[in-house]
């Protein structure tokens, strides 16, 4: 009887042992299956142009406000807004009454001086009297020239009229009668970070994109570097000159300026690898190390096509997860498939 029981028990124990082995194998297989399949790229350094972009407004190279030195009535304005003027062209004529009066006074002094010269030759007047009259004559001549400059107002530059504030018959006050701007070349001023101060040089090329002209790109060059920095923003102004012979660039247009500050060896990673930290502007990637995902914060530089320049956070040889990184957390087990 005992023998029968023993024989019956043995197959059951064997069954349980086999069942236990099967469950262990299944669990091991399930653990292996939860590993995330990922694709990685090894970090290498490549030459990257150090490009920085700035937003700015197109300005005229030179702006001149046509204003008489002395107030007076405007007799004629010979140009209007949009008119092109040449350097030396008369653009406004003021009332000439003062000029005529001064011209008459100068003619009288000139006759008196000639008479005094003749009298001096025969001893009729002293040298001192002659010199005093000559001084008066010179002063009257200077006054006439000044009044003349303020009777026919000329443009000191070639350009285009961008503002007109009076009409003929008005009495000009302190406000300019006209504003004339020279827009060839055009000028763009950008504020550059102090960290680039030693890298900016006169003649450095610049690329300018203008939205109003359907994103057309213009080439310019640095024409002036301001010698002082703003102590609040820690920036310094840089003036860029742009050829504008066809005058398509107009003052007030919005522009984006790109300057190249040289080349550095930097890591480049695909934009798919770079993730944004929720609730902040921080960027991070996941590295694969010893079969696990490692969270790594990075600082981005320039975007080049579908890749980002990494300024800090990565080192040569790091294995960056470029696919399969969505939803990863620190320490997740991963399997590299490529």
36-48+265-336 fold: 2.40.420
Phi-psi region of 31 (alpha: psi -120 to 50; beta: other; left: phi over 0): alpha
8 Å CB contact between 270 and 307 = yes
Domain spans of the chain, in order of start: 36-48+265-336, 53-60+183-263, 96-150
| pLDDT computed for residue 28 by the predictor | 45
Which tens digit of pLDDT belongs to each residue from 197-241? 989 999 999 999 998 998 899 999 999 999 999 999 999 999 999
Interval 101-149: pLDDT, tens: 777 888 888 888 888 888 888 888 888 888 888 888 888 888 777 777 7
Domains 36-48+265-336 and 53-60+183-263 share a fold: no
Q: Is 85 helix (H, G, I), strand (E, B) or coil?
A: strand
Q: How far is CA 156 from CA 87, 91, 297, 304, 313, in A?
A: 5, 10, 58, 46, 57
What local confidence, expressed as pLDDT, does residue 13 receive?
Answer: 43
Residues with Cβ within 8 Å of residue 212, at least 6 apart in sequence: 250, 253, 254
Q: How many residues appear in the chain?
A: 338
Residue position matching structure tokens 């990184």: 325
Average confidence (pLDDT) over 79-105: 86
Question: Which string of DSSP letters, residue by residue, matches 288-325?
Answer: EETTEEEEEEEEEEEEETTEEEEEES--TT-EEEEES-
Cα 166 to Cα 168: distance, rounded to the nearest angstrom: 7
Mean pLDDT value across the chain:
85
Q: Domain 53-60+183-263 - what CATH class?
A: mainly beta
Q: Please spell the DSSP secondary structure of 178-210, one letter per residue.
A: EEEEEEEEEEEEEEEEGGGGGG--TT-EEEEEE
12: DSSP letter:
H
Tell me the C-alpha distance between 272 and 285, whole Å: 9
pLDDT tens by residue, 167-186: 998 888 778 999 999 999 99
The pair phi, psi for residue 157, each rounded to 5°, is -135, 160
Listed in order, strand segments (DSSP E) in 14-151 are: 36-42, 45-66, 72-77, 84-85, 90-94
Residue 72 pLDDT exceeds 80 = yes
**The pLDDT value given to residue 5:** 39
pLDDT for 18 equals: 43
Considering only 146-160, 177-191, 205-219, 284-298, which range has the smallest mean pLDDT?
Answer: 146-160
For residue 38, give every residue at least 6 positions away whose Cβ sits within 8 Å of its Cβ, in sequence order, or none. 288, 293, 321, 323, 324, 325, 334, 335, 336, 337
Sorting pLDDT into bands at 50, 70 and 90, what band is 253?
Answer: very high
Backbone angles phi, psi at 163, to 5 degrees: -155, 145
pLDDT attached to residue 33:
54
Alpha carbon of residue 151 to chain centroid: 42
Q: Report the predicted TM-score, pTM, of the whole model to 2 decimal places.
A: 0.63
């Amino acid at each position: 009887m005992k023998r029968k029981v023993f024989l019956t028990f043995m197959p059951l124990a064997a069954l349980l042992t086999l069942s236990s082995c099967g469950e262990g194998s299944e669990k091991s297989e399930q653990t292996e299956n939860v590993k995330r399949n990922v694709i990685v790229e090894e970090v290498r350094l490549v030459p990257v142009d150090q490009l920085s972009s700035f937003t700015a407004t197109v300005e005229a190279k030179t702006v001149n406000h046509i204003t008489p030195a002395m107030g007076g009535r405007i007799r004629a304005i010979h140009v209007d807004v949009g008119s092109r003027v040449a350097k030396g062209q008369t653009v406004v004529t003021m009332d000439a009454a003062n000029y005529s009066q001064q011209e008459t006074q100068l003619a009288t002094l000139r006759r008196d001086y000639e008479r005094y010269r003749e009298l001096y030759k025969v001893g009729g007047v002293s040298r001192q009297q002659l010199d005093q009259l000559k001084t008066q004559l010179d002063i009257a001549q200077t006054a006439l020239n000044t009044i003349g400059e303020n009777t026919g107002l000329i443009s000191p530059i070639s350009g285009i009229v961008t503002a007109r504030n009076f009409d003929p018959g008005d009495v000009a006050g302190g406000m300019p009668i006209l504003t004339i701007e020279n827009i060839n070349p055009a000028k763009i001023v950008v504020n550059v970070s102090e960290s680039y101060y030693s890298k900016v040089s006169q003649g450095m090329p610049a690329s300018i994109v203008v939205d109003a002209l359907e994103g057309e790109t213009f080439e310019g060059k640095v024409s002036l570097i301001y010698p002082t920095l703003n102590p609040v923003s820690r920036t310094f102004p840089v003036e860029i000159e742009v050829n504008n012979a066809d005058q398509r660039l107009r003052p007030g247009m919005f522009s984006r300026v790109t300057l190249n500050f040289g080349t550095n060896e930097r890591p480049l990673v695909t934009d798919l690898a770079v993730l944004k930290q929720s609730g902040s502007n921080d960027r991070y990637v996941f590295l694969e190390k010893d079969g696990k995902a490692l969270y790594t914060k990075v600082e981005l530089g320039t975007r080049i096509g579908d890749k980002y320049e990494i300024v800090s956070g990565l080192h040569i040889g790091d294995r960056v997860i470029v696919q399969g990184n969505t939803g990863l957390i620190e320490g997740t087990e991963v399997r590299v498939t490529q």
